[in-house]
């Protein structure tokens, strides 16, 4: 699950990572109130107005602006709220901005010794360890830094059994070229950042930029956080941060039924039991001249109720021109699945797209017979090639 910047910063704060003071606003009036509160708290006379959407690159897209007066805050909040922010990480039509983060300016104008670093904590799948990736060249696109000056990107492997060690944090601060108070603050920052990553069961904490202020504080100015969905059961506070507005509405509905559904851009919907079979089925759709409209794993219990829910979800996608059901009857019997399909079909009623059902495994023949005798416009197959041919034929018509 992705988090908004302000949510990520709230978690960072809990773990002792220093962040600039900020308040979320949903209207220009609230933005001005927030700016006044921040002024009273920190003495700041400048603020940044930051669009809260699940996408990076907001600055370049016009979603992060510096306000030099309260009037500026009002004007910029008005401008950014309600805009469709387009960045390289959004869909082409952009993302609607519903909230802005008003934050104290920590770049104090006129001061010259500000520095921007990059730091992230993530899982290194090759070594099965967590890894801190960091660079003295922060603030810019880290992919560009990696391509142009790969020697400017450092990594530090962390053994998950013992967590980050102080000597590792000192090495990071040293490699970033810091000394004195800034060095000490960076050591603290890196240690606390790792603890936040581990404590929140995150798969990514990316801070770009980490800023060294002119008074040698080290602050997380941005925060991109991804939390492992499988851990949400033990983090009710993080689970509550989920923003359904940022997700595909069909995927949101599917998750309510515990269906593993991912929307794709093709024209053949598919319903499969098991993730591996789902991947193979998507390949098969490609080879038969179609394009998968989704990934959908109904899981072990392909009973009538789940099949019906899955059909309803797939049919919500207007691009779907045909549906391929590919079920392997291992624990579940094919004839029961077939009955489920027949029941679901008649319950839903008005299904206009052709459905191809391929059942293999226990009672596959009985299942095919059930479908063939149902009188419904459902094509059935037992062999995978036959199902592929059927998909190809219905797409031609
Ligand atoms: P992103 O573009 O989505 O990665 O958003 P960031 O939070 O990284 O902000 C984009 C840029 O805005 C940063 O790289 C900074 O250069 C700038 N910025 C962020 N916070 C401040 C601030 O407090 N003061 C000033 N002057 N600039 C800031
Ligand atoms: Mn950033």
pLDDT in tens, 16-40: 999 999 999 999 999 999 999 999 9
| Catalytic residue from among 5, 206, 246, 309 | 206
Q: Is 194 a catalytic site residue?
A: no
- As a whole number of angstroms, the distance between CA 246 and CA 209 comes to 23
Residue 26's CATH number: 3.30.1490.20
Residue 15 has pLDDT above 80, yes or no: yes
Residues 167, 256 within the same domain: no
- Pairing relationship of beta strands 154-158 and 47-51 according to DSSP bridges: unpaired
The residue out of 188, 215, 246 marking a domain boundary is: 246
Residues 134, 236 within the same domain: yes
Residue 300 has pLDDT above 80, yes or no: no
Residue 397 has pLDDT above 80, yes or no: no
For residues 58-67, average pLDDT = 96
pLDDT of residue 391: 85
Residues 303, 367 within the same domain: yes
Domain that holds residue 316: 248-396
The tens digit of pLDDT for each residue in 39-53 reads 999 999 999 999 999
Task: Give the pLDDT band of residue 255 (cuts 50, 70, 90).
Answer: confident
Task: Give the pLDDT band of residue 392 (cuts 50, 70, 90).
Answer: confident
Mean pLDDT rounded to a whole number for the chain: 93
* Among candidate residues 131, 211, 125, 206, the one with its CA nearest the CA of residue 168: 131
The tens digit of pLDDT for each residue in 186-222 reads 999 999 999 999 999 999 999 999 999 999 999 999 9
For ligand 2, the distance from its centroid to the CA atom of residue 228, given in whole angstroms, is 21
User: Which one of the ligands is nearest to 103 CA?
Assistant: 1
Strand partners, 248: none
- As a whole number of angstroms, the distance between CA 107 and CA 349 comes to 61
8 close to ligand 1 (CB < 6 Angstrom): no
Residues 89, 4 within the same domain: no
Residues 267, 388 within the same domain: yes
Q: Counting atoms of ligand 1 from 1, which one is nearest the CA of 20?
A: 23
pLDDT of residue 4: 98
pLDDT of residue 131: 97
pLDDT of residue 385: 83
Greater confidence (31 vs 274) lies with 31
Residues 183, 296 within the same domain: no
Residue 201's CATH number: 3.30.470.20
For residues 76-88, average pLDDT = 97
Task: Give the pLDDT band of residue 298 (cuts 50, 70, 90).
Answer: confident
Three-state secondary structure along the chain?
CECCHHHHHHHHHHCCCCCCCEEEECCHHHHHHHHHHHHHHHCCCCEEEEECCCCCCCCCCCCEEEECCHHHHHHHHHHHCCCEECCCCCCCCCEECCCEEEEECCCCCCCCCCEEEEEEEEEECCCCEEEEEEECCCCCCHHHHHHHCHHHCEEEEECCCCCCCHHHHHHHHHHCCCCHHHHHHHHHHHHHHHHHHHHCCEEEEEEEEEEECCCCCEEECCCEEEECHHHHHHCHHHHCCCCHHHCCHHHHHHHHCCCEEEECCCCEEEEECCHHHHHHHHHHHHHCCCCECEEEECCCCCCHHHHHHHHHHHHCCCCCCEEEEEEEECCCCHHHHHHHHHHHHHHHCCCCCCEEEEEEECCHHHHHHHHHCCCCCEEEECCHHHHHHHHHHHHHC
Greater confidence (262 vs 377) lies with 262
For ligand 1, the distance from its centroid to the CA atom of residue 248, given in whole angstroms, is 28
Task: Give the pLDDT band of residue 110 (cuts 50, 70, 90).
Answer: low
CB 201 within 8 A of CB 228: yes
- As a whole number of angstroms, the distance between CA 43 and CA 241 comes to 30
Q: In testing the pocket of ligand 1, which one of 19, 22, 52, 59 has its CB within 8 Å of the most ligand atoms? A: 59
- As a whole number of angstroms, the distance between CA 203 and CA 121 comes to 8
Residues 2, 35 within the same domain: no
Query: Which residue has the least CA distance to atom 26 on ligand 1?
Result: 107
For residues 368-378, average pLDDT = 89
Residues 4, 139 within the same domain: yes
Q: How many domains does the chain have?
A: 3
pLDDT of residue 138: 94
Residue 74 has pLDDT above 80, yes or no: yes
pLDDT of residue 191: 98
Q: Is 5 a catalytic site residue?
A: no
pLDDT of residue 210: 98
pLDDT of residue 383: 83
- As a whole number of angstroms, the distance between CA 14 and CA 23 comes to 16
User: Which one of the ligands is nearest to 68 CA?
Assistant: 1
- As a whole number of angstroms, the distance between CA 316 and CA 69 comes to 47
The tens digit of pLDDT for each residue in 156-176 reads 999 999 999 999 999 999 999
Residue percentage of the chain with pLDDT more than 70: 99
Chain centroid offset of residue 369 CA = 43
Residues 30, 116 within the same domain: no
């Amino acid at each position: 699950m992705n988090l908004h910047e302000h949510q990520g910063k709230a978690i960072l704060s809990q773990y002792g990572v220093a962040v600039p003071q900020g308040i979320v606003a949903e209207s220009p009036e609230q933005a001005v109130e927030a700016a006044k509160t921040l002024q009273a708290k920190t003495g700041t006379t400048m603020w940044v107005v930051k669009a809260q959407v699940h996408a990076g690159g907001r600055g370049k897209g016009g979603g992060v602006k510096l306000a030099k007066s309260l009037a500026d805050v009002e004007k910029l909040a008005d401008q950014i709220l309600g805009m469709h922010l387009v960045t390289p990480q959004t869909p082409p039509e952009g993302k609607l901005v519903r909230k802005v983060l008003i934050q104290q300016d920590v770049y104090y104008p006129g001061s010259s010794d500000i520095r921007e670093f990059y730091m992230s904590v993530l899982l290194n799948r090759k070594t099965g360890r967590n890894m801190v990736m960091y660079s003295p060249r922060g603030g810019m696109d880290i992919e560009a830094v990696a391509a142009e000056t790969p020697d400017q990107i450092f990594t530090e492997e962390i053994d998950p059994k013992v967590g980050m060690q102080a000597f590792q944090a000192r090495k990071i601060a040293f490699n970033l070229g810091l000394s004195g108070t800034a060095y000490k603050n960076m050591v603290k920052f890196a240690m606390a950042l790792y603890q936040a990553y581990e404590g929140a069961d995150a798969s990514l904490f990316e801070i770009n930029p980490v800023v060294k202020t002119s008074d040698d504080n080290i602050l997380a100015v941005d925060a991109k956080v991804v939390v492992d969905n499988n851990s949400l059961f033990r983090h009710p506070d993080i689970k509550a941060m989920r923003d359904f507005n940022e997700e595909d509405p069909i995927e949101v509905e599917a998750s309510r039924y515990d269906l593993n559904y991912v929307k794709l851009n093709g024209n053949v919907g598919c319903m499969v039991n098991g993730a591996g079979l789902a991947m193979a089925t998507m390949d098969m759709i490609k080879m038969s001249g179609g394009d998968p409209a989704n990934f959908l794993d109904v899981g072990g219990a392909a009973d009538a109720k789940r099949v019906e829910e899955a059909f309803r979800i797939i049919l919500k996608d207007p691009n779907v021109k045909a549906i391929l059901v590919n079920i392997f009857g291992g624990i579940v019997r094919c004839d029961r699945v077939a009955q489920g399909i027949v029941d679901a079909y008649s319950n839903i009623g008005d299904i206009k797209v052709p459905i191809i059902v391929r059942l293999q495994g226990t009672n596959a023949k009985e299942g095919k017979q059930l479908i063939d005798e149902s009188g419904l416009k459902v094509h059935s197959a037992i062999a995978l090639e036959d199902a592929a041919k059927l998909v190809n034929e219905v797409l031609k018509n």
